[in-house]
Amino acid sequence: MNVTELARKLRINTVELLEVLPQYGFDIGRKAIKIDDATAEQVIRRWKYIKRELEEKKKKELEEKKLKEKELRKELGQDVTLGDKLTVREFAEKLNMTVTQIITELMKNGILANQNQNLDFDTMSIMAEDLGFIVHKEDGNIEDEKKEEERVQSLEEALAKGKNLQPRAPVIVVMGHVDHGKTKLLDTIRHANIIDTEAGGITQHIGAYQTIWKDPKNKKERALTFIDTPGHEAFTMMRSRGAKVADIAILIVAADDGVKPQTEEAINIIKAAKLPFVVAINKIDKESADIQKTKTDLSQKGVLAEEWGGNVPMVEISAKQNTNIDKLLDVLLLVADMNEDKIKADRELPAIGTVIESNVDKGMGPVATVLIQSGTLHRGDKLVLNNEIYGKVRAMKNYKGELVDEAGPSVPIQIIGFKIAPEVGDVLDITKESTATEINLRKKKSEQTGAERTIITADNDSGDEEKKKTLNIVVKADVLGSLEAIVSSFEKIRHAEVGVKIIGKGLGNITEDDVKKATTSGATVIGFNVNATPLAGSMMREENVQFLQYDVIYDLIDWVKEELGILLSDEKIITEIGNMKVVAIFRKEKGAMIVGGRIESGKVMKNVLARVKHEKLEMGIGKITECRMGQSVTKEVHEGMECGVRFEGKPRIEIGDVLEFYTEETKAREIQFL
């Protein structure tokens, strides 16, 4: 056989092959043109083991090279200046490394990202220091660094400024674990049966409502505004945004369930927003309710009840039985009175507020719910967000669905007249109308609906194909808050082998363009509270595109986890048992051998697997089907004893070989969300 033909079969360069073979006992000469067939067959049989060893050598050499580079950088004092946020590509350029190298390093640290995803300063500094760089923090763009801080500050200033500051309704945000009764509590407070219209009993979108309650002190009627936040952990981002527009928080905890991870998460958000809050211990009517244990659990998280010497009012309620709801509302008004200096606004100023819900309505077009926080919004006012004019107020509806001409402080209002749906959390600021410019619709639509984004998938230039299995998805939702939450929940997936790839996303019904994207990429089309247009539905049936509809977000997440689990290969658990050095070959059979030897460590027993090692090189694996000591069959043989074993497998064992015994279990792996 020609050496070039052999090299082609083994997928290696001919010169490399001639250099490698002598290292493994095939001394055919470095300038050989031909190789005899018997030797060629031996090379082919052993090649996968030789290749594995060569790869390990290269890997070791690469690690040694990286270590030397790291030490050299330290010696030379190489430094790098990093900002608060850079894309993977920009970070690679800063370090003068390739994108693939950076992605590989990220994967080692458990972070999987593509070249366009952002990295924060902490992540970059740890990585850069590991690579031997001295890290300096860039002074940075103050505007970028404190954008969110300034947004909150501007809202606080808006509430505080004005010549005619008057008390306004306190804005109350309700937080807690998904099953602890937030929606039922609000339902009871509003005397409206909202929960029956909610899919699966979970709030799907951020909404806002008002209720009137008599002040316990002077018996005057007072309004309270409630922000209803979704309960699933995927909405963490939306919860935190909701907290920043609120004056008071209700932390709801079920007495029969206690403090859960989402409860702790809500506590952290409330504390970060520096909100005064009241704890509502719900479900006290249940037999399994343990109020004292719930209070103890809360105290361990830094939430101490007033009767225990703390400063947090706690009210024991049953939203289902309408128990102590009046007491909870009284306490909320008392907390509002204690913070009355901060709960004031000037109605005479131009309106400032925050977008708490955003969607595209089939009949009305882009619609947003805005909580007015200062001033008054009038019909006909221009809609200014992010210093851009998004449209004009054509109509406004209050929380009852009634058309109104104006909305004052603490009033949640649904606005019709946007040219494009704004982002949840955007600030509506009519005071900046004179300096605002018209919105670039094409650019904004591209950002919202056309932006293709890969979520947590391995880079195409690194790893095996097995490690880059992706679940392709086109997702459309009815409101922007839900779309953000869905994408955010996908981002919580961290796995080296599988990931979610969003081929297309947007608001509104499934269109022909969505189906085309799905067809070309083999994606599944997901509709969250939306349908497909007749033409799109017909196209999906013709093209055999999978179309799934959901109205509960954790049902969608469960489906994604299940699909990724199918893509994920099972985990193999290997337990080493022992090893034996072969000193005798007793019998050779077709597909089996009986060999003898001494157990050097551990033990051997029936039905374990065995690796055949020849001069430390793995030749293959087989199974031990019988163990003998002398003429007796035995279940197991321990260290230091001599025995004979029946080995079934393809490898041919020689005297001097080592058999390594082990067991192997297969366990299905599950996808975890961070």
List pLDDT tens digits, range 256-293.
988 887 788 788 878 877 889 999 999 999 888 899 99
Using 50, 70 and 90 to split pLDDT, how confident is the model at 239?
very low
Q: Report, as an integer, the average pLDDT of 482-506.
A: 77
First to last CA, the chain: 55
Looking at residue 303, what DSSP letter applies? Answer: -
Tens-place pLDDT, residues 629-667: 988 899 999 999 999 999 999 889 999 999 999 998 877
477 compared with 203, residue with greater pLDDT: 477
Mean confidence (pLDDT) of the chain: 80
* Class of CATH domain 346-434: mainly beta
Task: In whole angstroms, give the CA distance from residue 188 to residue 546.
Answer: 40
- Hey, which residues does 598 pair with through a beta bridge? 581, 642
Task: In whole angstroms, give the CA distance from residue 445 to residue 659.
Answer: 65
- pLDDT at position 623 is 95
- pLDDT at position 653 is 93
Using 50, 70 and 90 to split pLDDT, how confident is the model at 501?
confident
Q: Which residues are annotated as a binding site for GTP?
A: 176-183, 228-232, 282-285
- Is the pLDDT reported for residue 502 higher than 90? no
Closest CA to 559 of 543, 542, 570, 546: 546
416 compared with 569, residue with greater pLDDT: 416
Using 50, 70 and 90 to split pLDDT, how confident is the model at 447?
low
Neighbours of 615 (CB within 10 A): 11
Q: Report, as an integer, the average pLDDT of 339-356.
A: 87
* Angstrom distances, CA of residue 441 to CA of 428, 437, 476: 17, 12, 19
Task: In whole angstroms, give the CA distance from residue 131 to residue 192.
Answer: 60
Using alpha carbons only, give the angle 306, 311, 312 rounded to the nearest 5 degrees. Answer: 75
- pLDDT at position 199 is 41
Tens-place pLDDT, residues 188-231: 887 643 434 444 333 334 467 788 887 777 778 888 888 875 44
Beta strands in 291-330 (DSSP E): 314-316
Tens-place pLDDT, residues 169-178: 999 988 887 6
- pLDDT at position 457 is 38
- Is the pLDDT reported for residue 466 higher than 50? no
Tens-place pLDDT, residues 507-538: 788 988 889 888 878 899 999 888 888 888 98
Q: Report, as an integer, the average pLDDT of 540-554.
A: 87
- pLDDT at position 229 is 58
Q: How many residues does the chain have?
A: 674
Using 50, 70 and 90 to split pLDDT, how confident is the model at 160?
low
**Inter-residue contact 372 to 158 (CB < 8 Å):** no
Tens-place pLDDT, residues 107-144: 776 566 667 677 878 778 888 887 778 888 776 544 55
What is the distance of C-alpha 243 from the center of its chain?
21
10 compared with 234, residue with greater pLDDT: 10
- pLDDT at position 547 is 94
- pLDDT at position 552 is 78
Task: In whole angstroms, give the CA distance from residue 551 to residue 416.
Answer: 24
Q: Which residues are annotated as a binding site?
A: 176-183, 228-232, 282-285
- Is the pLDDT reported for residue 236 higher than 60? no
Closest CA to 423 of 241, 559, 178, 289: 241
- Is the pLDDT reported for residue 406 higher than 80? yes
CATH second-level architecture of 169-342? 3-Layer(aba) Sandwich (3.40)
Using 50, 70 and 90 to split pLDDT, how confident is the model at 672?
low
- Is the pLDDT reported for residue 459 higher than 50? no
Task: Give the three-state DSSP class for 231.
Answer: coil
Q: For the ranges 268-277, 396-405, 446-455, 495-504, which has the lowest average pLDDT?
A: 446-455
Using 50, 70 and 90 to split pLDDT, how confident is the model at 149?
low
Q: Which CATH number fits domain 447-567: 3.40.50.300, 3.40.1160.10, 3.40.50.10050, 3.30.360.10?
A: 3.40.50.10050
- Is the pLDDT reported for residue 51 higher than 60? yes
Task: Please report, rounded to a whole number, the percentage of residues in the chain having pLDDT higher than 90.
Answer: 23
Closest CA to 373 of 158, 553, 188: 158
Token pair in block for residue 465 = 């194909």
**Prediction pTM value:** 0.53
Task: In whole angstroms, give the CA distance from residue 328 to residue 460.
Answer: 56
Tens-place pLDDT, residues 295-322: 999 999 889 988 888 889 999 999 888 8
List CB contacts of 531: < 8 A, sequence separation 6 or more: 509, 510, 549
Q: Which CATH number fits domain 571-667: 2.40.37.10, 3.40.50.620, 2.40.30.10, 3.30.470.20?
A: 2.40.30.10
